[in-house]
Amino acid sequence: MTLTNKITKRGTALAIVAASSLLFAGHVSAGGHSGAPKNLTELIAAAKKEGQFKGMWSSSSLGGGKGFKQMVAAVNEKYGLSIKAKFTPGPSMTRMIAKTTREFKAGQPASTDMLWNNSGGALKGGKVGILRKINWNAYLERKPLGWEGFDHLAPGGTGLASAGSLVGIMYNSDLVKGDDIPQSIEDVFKPKFKGKIATTPYVAGMREFGMPDVLGNEKMVEYTKRLSKQIGGLMRCGSTDRITSGEFLMLVYSCGDQYVNRAKNSGSSEPLGYAIMNEAVISHTRYAMVPKNSSAPNTATLVAVWLGSKEGQAWMWKQNGLDMPIYAESQVRKKLLAAKAKGAKIVMNSPQWLGSQGGYIKFRKKLEKIVKAKK
Amino acid sequence: MLRHNSSPILIALAAMPMLVILVLVAILIWLSFQTGILGTSDANYTLSNYKDVFKDPIFAQAVYNTFIFSVTATFVAMAIGLPIAWVTERTTMACKSWVYVIMTLGLLIPGIYTAMGWTFLAHERIGFINRWAVQIFGFSEAPLNIATPVGMGCVQGMSLAALGFILTAQMFRSMNPSLEEAANIHGLGFWGTIRRITLPLAMPAILAAVIYIVVIAVATFDVPAIIGLGSRIYMLSTYIYLKTNPGDEEMAQHGITAALGVMMIIVALLLTLWYSRVLRKGDQYGVVTGKGYRPNLIDIGGWGKAAWGFIILYMFASKILPLLLIGYTAFIPYLAPPSAKMFSLMTLEPLLEEIDWELVLRGMGNTFLLVLTVPAATLVVAFAISWLIIRSKSKGRYVLEFGAFLPHALPEIILAISALLLALFYLKDIVPLYGSVTLIAIVYVITRISFATRAINSALLQIHKELEEAAHTAGISPVKTSWNILVPLLRPTLMAVWIWSAILVYRELTVAVFLVGHDNITLPAVIWSYWQSGAVNLAAGVTLVMTVLLIPLILLFWWFGRKSVMQSS
C-alpha cells in the first residue's frame, strides 16, 4: 500500500467519523458506561489503545474464525486501526451467556470481548447484569429505518440489533418437493413424514409461535406433543449436514433461513430449501453485546457499530446469509415486506417482546421437556 | 505408614495426585448440594439436585440404556480384543508385529468418525447395508437400526477392542508357558489347556480389562452423542451433557451433574472392592520369576491365516471404513452419502480455503505440548502408586487403590467441571490456571492414572517379589531397586502405557471441550467445534491432517516398543 493510499484511507475514515458524529449529535442521550468515549472519534482512539480483540462463539455464527478475521480486517481498514484478531470457537449462544456470567461472577476477564447472541440471550444477559450499558446512538454512522414496535437496542442499551433471519422449515430439496413442501405448521403431520423429520432440542420456532401474541401457549403445547410423536430425532439448527445427507427430510423449525441463504449466496449446490409458515413470519434477531468484563470493550463496541454500517450489513448477508431488517438495503426486510403485503402476521423477536409476553422461559422449558422425551 | 522400606519419594509421588483427586471429589460433593450460580454468593444449598435426578424419567431411561450399551460394548471389545491378543503373543502367527500397528493406528480416529462411518453403513434411512438389503431382498423396511443401545454398543465395542487387546496382550506376553506345556504333556488337548490353564492364569488381567472397559463404556460420550442423542436414546454421559448444556438462556445445571458424579463414586467404590478381591489373589498368578522367563509360542499352523482374516475384517470395519469416510468427507462441499454426483463435486476448496489454519496450528502446538508432558508425568506417579499398592502390606494401599481407580469411574466431564470451577473461583489469586494448558494437563494426568496403574499393577503381579527382596537384603534402596530391577522388567508395560497415554491425550476431547480457552485449545477441540457447528467437511479435513501427522509418531513408538521387548527378552 502506498503512502498516498494510506493518507486517502485515513482521510476517508476521519470524514466518516466526522459526518457520523454530526449526524447523531442530536441523538446522544444521557447514560452509557461512565468514562465511555463520547463519540465515534473517541471510540476509535480508545479501541486503538486496546490493540487486540478476542472473539469466542460457535463456528457456525458470523463465519467462525474465517469470518472473524474478515470482520476485524474490515474494521481496521475502515477506521485506520491495526487491531489483532484472536478467535477461538466456543459453545452455543446459550452456553456463552452462561460461561460469561460465570467468568464475571468469578472476577475473571471474559473469554469473548463481544457477545453474539439472540433475543433470549439478550434478555438473560440483561437480567443477570453482565452486559455493559452503551450509548450506541452516539456511535452509529446512520440512523436505522426502524420497524414498527421494534427498538434496535436491547433494554438499557445492553445490545445492538445487528442481524435477523426468518423462522421456518429447512428441508432437503432433493427429497421434499412440490406439494410436500410445508406451507402451514400442520403440513408436517403427513404420515409419510413420520419418524423422518427432526426438531431442535431448544424448540426453536415453537417457543415463539407459542407466545400469546402469535398462537398462544396452550395451542403450542398440544402441537408440540403431537410433533414429538411425529419426529425421528433432534438436531441443532446449524447441522445442515443432517438434512443434506438425508438422515432427516426436514427440520421443524429452524432458527432462521441464514444457512439456506448462505448456501445460495456462495453458489453451493447443497440440496437445501426453506419454507416460511402461513401462520406467522417471525424475524429472529441477533444482538452484538459487550460484557462488563470484556478486555477490549471499545473495540467490541466499534466492531458492533461496523456491523450496523452498510459495509458490515453487506458482509453479513454475503458471508452469513442474514442481515438486519431495520436497514433499507436489507434482504430480510424485503422478505418481511413481501409477507406483510400478503397479509401475513409479522413478529420482530426482541428481548423487549419476549419480556412482554410473560412466562417465556417457563413455557420454553415445558416445550423442551416434551420434545426431549421419546414417545 | 505404608511399609518400613517404602521410599518417601514414592510416597510423595503417589500422594500428589491423590491430593488433587481428593480436592476435585470434595468440590464435586460440595457442588452437588448447590443450585444457582455455583461457587458464588448466589448459590443456594439444597438437596434438590439429588431429588431432581431421581424424579426425572429420562434418568431411569438413561440408566437402563447405559447398562445395555456398556454390556454390549464390553462383550464386543473382549470378543475381538482378547483372541487377537492371545494369537499375537502366544502363537506362531506370521507378521504379528503389524497387529500392534493396526490396533494402535485405529485409536487415532476420533469416536465421532467411527460413529459417522457406521451411520452411513447401518442407519435405518441412509445406511448402505439397509439400502442394499431393501433393494436386493425386497424388505419392506430397513433390517438394521443402529440407533439402539445394542447397535451403539457394537460400534463402541469395536473402538474399545483395541483397549481390550492392549490390556491383555502384555499379560499373555509375560505368561510362563511351563504350565501349558505340562498340560499338553498330560494330554489335556488344545481347548482343554485354554479352558483349564490359560484362561484361569489370565483371569486377573481379563477381569481387570473387563472392569476397566465397562467403566469406559458407562462414561463414553462420542458414540452415544453422535448416534443416540439425535434419536433421543439417552445414556448417562449424554444425560450429563444435556444437564450441562440445557436449553436457551438456561444456566448449566452443574449441581445435578455433581450429584450424578457423587452417585458414580459409590459405583466406583463397589467396582474397586471387586477389583481388590482379584488383586488379593494375585500371588497365586506370579508365574514369571527371575529364574525362568522363557516364553514359548504355540504353533497354530494354517489357523494363522484364519486369524489374520479375522484381524483384517476387524480392521476394515473399525478402521478403514471410517478412514475412507474421513477422506471422502474432507473433500466434498457438503455431507451426502457417496454417489457419482458427490464424487464429481469433490474439491480441495474446504481444506485449502475454509479451514482456519492459524487456529489449527495453535491447537497443534498445545496438543503436542500435552502429548510430551502428560504421559511422562502419568508414568511416574502411576508407577509409584502401583508399587505401593502391590508391594505394600499397609491398609493405606486400599486408599491408594480406590483413589487411583476413582478418576476412571467418574466421567471426564465431571472431573473437568470440578477442575474448571476450582481454577475459576478458588485458585485465581494463587495460581492462574483458568484457561491454561497446565489445567488441562493436570486433569489429563488424573484421568490417565487409572489405566496406567491397572496396567502396571497387572505387570507387577507377574514379577515375583524375590528379586526385590534380594535387592533389599543387599541394602539397595527402594528407588534404586525400582530403577535397576523393576523398570527394565516392566519396560514393555511402561512403553505400552506411554504409547497409550500419548495417543489418548492426542485424541482426547471431552475434557478439552469443557476447559478450552484461547490459549489452551487442542486439536480435537478444533475438530469438535467444526463438527458441532455443522462444518463436517472441515472437521474431517482437520482429522485427516491430525491422522497423517501422528502416523510417524505411532511408528516411532512402535519401533521403540518392539526394541524394548527384544531387549527385555
Average pLDDT over residues B330-357: 85
Distance CA B554, CA B214 (A): 26
Task: Determine contact, residues B164/B209, Cβ cutoff 8 Å.
Answer: yes
Average pLDDT estimate for A317-338: 94
Tell me whether residues A89 and B526 touch, CB distance under 8 A.
Answer: yes
Quote the pLDDT of residue A333: 95
pLDDT given for residue A146 in this prediction = 79
Report the largest interatomic distance among the alpha carbons of chain B, rounded to a whole angstrom: 78
Residue A4: pLDDT band (50, 70, 90) is very low
pLDDT at A1: 41
**Averaged pLDDT for residues B102-126:** 74
Residue of B nearest to A54 (CA): B518
pLDDT of residue B225: 83
pLDDT value at residue B334: 84
Tell which wins on pLDDT, A262 or A359: A262
Q: Which residue has the higher pLDDT, B138 or A157?
A: A157
In B431-566, where do the E strands start and end?
Answer: none
Cα–Cα distance for residue pair B469/A36, rounded to 1 Å: 75
Residue B20's φ and ψ, nearest 5 degrees, are -65, -45
Residue A333 to residue A62: CA distance in whole angstroms: 19
Q: What is the pLDDT of residue B276?
A: 65
- Angstrom CA distances, B202 to A287, B81, B100, stand at 62, 14, 20
B309 — contact with chain A (CB < 8 Å)?
no
What's residue A129's pLDDT?
Answer: 93
The string of pLDDT tens digits covering residues B349-361 is 877 888 889 999 9
pLDDT recorded at residue B220 = 82
Q: Is B534 on the interface with A (CB under 8 A)?
A: yes
**ipTM above threshold 0.90:** no
**pLDDT band for position B260 (50/70/90)?**
confident
- Mean pLDDT of the region B158-168: 86
Residue B561, all three cell numbers: 516398543
C-alpha cell at B80: 475381538
State the DSSP H helix or E strand holding residue B271, giving kind and residue range, or none if neither.
Answer: helix B254-280
The answer to whether the CB atoms of A268 and B334 lie below 8 A apart is yes
Residue B491 has pLDDT above 70, yes or no: yes
B71 burial via Cβ count (<10 Å: 0-12, 13-18, 19+): middle
Whether B533 sits inside 8 A of A271 (CB atoms) is: no
Q: Give chain A positions within 8 Å (CB) of B334.
A: 240-241, 244, 263, 268, 270
Residue B281, chain A, CB below 8 Å: the answer is no
Q: Note which residues in 315-334 of chain B have CB less than 8 A from chain A.
A: 333-334
Is A198 within 8 Å of chain B by CB? yes
Cell of A372: 426431549
Residue of B nearest to A89 (CA): B529
Using a pLDDT cut of 90, give the percent of chain B over it: 15
Nearest CA in chain B to A204: B248
pLDDT over 50 at A31, yes or no: no
* Number of CB pairs, chain A paired with chain B, less than 8 A apart: 157
Averaged pLDDT score across all residues of chain A? 88
Q: Which pLDDT tens digit goes with each residue over B508-553?
A: 777 777 788 899 999 888 888 887 777 778 888 888 888 888 777 6
Task: Give residues 41 to 60 of A whose Cβ lies within 8 Å of B.
Answer: 54, 56, 58-60
pLDDT recorded at residue B162:
86
